[in-house]
Amino acid sequence: MELTGEQLKITEQHLKRYLPRSQQKGDLFKDTLVFANDEAILEEIIRKSSVIDWTHVFCLGMNLRHMEIFKAVASEKDVSGIQLAVCHMMILEDVSNLPSIDSTGISLSSLDESHVGLVNQTWKFGKNNEAVRMIRNMLANFPSCCVLDEEGKPVSWILTYESCAMGMLYTLPEHRGKGYAKVLVSSMVKKLHAKGCPVYCFIEEENKVSYKLFRNLGFIEVPSYREAWFQFNDY
């Protein structure tokens, strides 16, 4: 099914809310969402400067099968790009499939703005000021869950992206092997399900540990989909 002219117009209006609005690298992780049911329409959309400003620094997540379209448009516009990651999409179609997880003795809470620096320093794509705005927005507006130590400090956590996908799951090295990750995922699943959100995540292809964790918790891989992340105009 192709988008009509009016549907394309509405789509563009919707997308403008998510586009990079400055040339600063601080907008690197601002979401750009593109929806199309036809590759010709997709190519038409991403060529428009009103949808994607190819002169700015931005990251883009896409279905891997559309990668050549984006590469071709980037080449045409003389824009450099690097692949950051390729991920499995994992979903939990039926929350009743989530196994019972014993969290006895584990103190659970949520992260807040005071934890932005902690998450930024431990996130693979963070460790800089560029991700601070994104993480702050995630903590202020989307569900999070963490395990607290005896001093009330987070030692393990998971966040929710603006797309409602779970992510940034991390446990401090000295606290690993205690089962915190599965407790956090289980808790987050229940939070998202209660809010009527889809329950899913993206796991990098080389991250075998996380893949096994989510499979053991009832998640299944969507074999027809791979999420690829690219960064363009890395000045």
In the structure encoding, which two tokens stand for residue 150, read together? Answer: 């005896």
Exposed (0-12), middle (13-18) or buried (19+): which is 132, by Cβ within 10 Å?
middle
- Domains of the chain in sequence order: 5-88+227-232 (no CATH), 95-224 (3.40.630.30)
- Is the pLDDT score of 119 beyond 60? yes
What is the tally of helices (H) and strands (E) in the chain? 7, 8
* Average pLDDT value for residue range 3-12: 40
The whole-angstrom separation of Cα 197 and Cα 145 is: 16
pLDDT band at 17 (very low <50, low <70, confident <90, very high): very low
- Name which of 176, 179, 191, 190 is nearest 216 in CA terms: 179
- Name which of 176, 152, 181 is nearest 189 in CA terms: 181
In the structure encoding, which two tokens stand for residue 170, read together? Answer: 């991390």
- Is the pLDDT score of 49 beyond 70? no
Q: Where are the beta strands (DSSP E) in the chain?
A: 58-63, 81-91, 107-109, 145-148, 154-160, 166-171, 200-204, 220-232
More confident residue, 30 or 79: 79
Inter-residue contact 185 to 146 (CB < 8 Å): no
Q: What's the pLDDT score for residue 8?
A: 39
Q: What's the pLDDT score for residue 109?
A: 98
The whole-angstrom separation of Cα 4 and Cα 85 is: 33
Q: What's the pLDDT score for residue 31?
A: 62
The whole-angstrom separation of Cα 73 and Cα 208 is: 33
Inter-residue contact 95 to 199 (CB < 8 Å): yes
- Is the pLDDT score of 2 beyond 50? no
Inter-residue contact 89 to 226 (CB < 8 Å): yes
* Average pLDDT value for residue range 107-120: 97
How far is Cα of residue 201 from the mean position of the Cα atoms in its chain? Answer: 7
